[in-house]
Structure 1
């Protein structure tokens, strides 16, 4: 069962640019995890301190293992240096999907 994760991380004012390399490095690491099908961060076009989160995992077990990985825990600690004001991350089981645009 595919698990979809989407959310936002609102960093402190001016922290988006400072966090960019850390975010990119974390993505590169997570993409090597077993069961990780998609993992990305994107800065919002209207707010350079708002990070959009998009993930796809092959199973609930893969997502759970990601949450327990040492590099994920270290990422959470490192993120604190960028003064996150809020964070909202949600997961859905991907029971149904259909292509909306492109192939």
Structure 2
């Protein structure tokens, strides 16, 4: 399946809250893969910036991304993130016209 949408973003939490964030994040990622039709949904803690969690996502189309944003598992995740002290968030979606190996 070819991706037509790529999303990159981050969430920032107090570093001391990351242990509390991880189980909620795991639930989000598993539900997204199981239900939302994503091609890739990768999440990682930044090794050099404690408290920063980076996201990279590939979606088959805008409609799949829009459905993900209102999926039943999103609001519980957002509530949990706020409860864990979410400090900042930024996500940007891009249209993917073609891809090639580098």
TM above 0.5: yes
State the distance in 2 between where 1:33 and 1:63 align.
12
Which 4+ stretches in 1 moved above 3 angstroms? none
> Partner of 2:14 in structure 1?
12
> Partner of 1:64 in structure 2?
66
Structure 1 stretches of 5 or more lacking a match?
none
> Partner of 1:44 in structure 2?
46
User: When the two structures are aligned, how many residues end up with a matched partner?
Assistant: 100
Kindly provide the CA deviation profile for residues 20-47 of structure 1, in whole angstroms up to 9, marking residues without a partner as x. Answer: 1211121011001243111121000012
CA offset at residue 99 of structure 1?
A: 1.3
RMSD, aligned CA: 1.3
> Partner of 2:35 in structure 1?
33
SS class of match (1:96):
coil
On the 8 A contact 1:12/1:85 being kept in 2, the answer is yes
On the 8 A contact 1:19/1:82 being kept in 2, the answer is yes
Structure 2 stretches of 5 or more lacking a match?
none
State the distance in 1 between where 2:61 and 2:8 align.
15
Q: Name the structure with the higher strand share.
A: 1
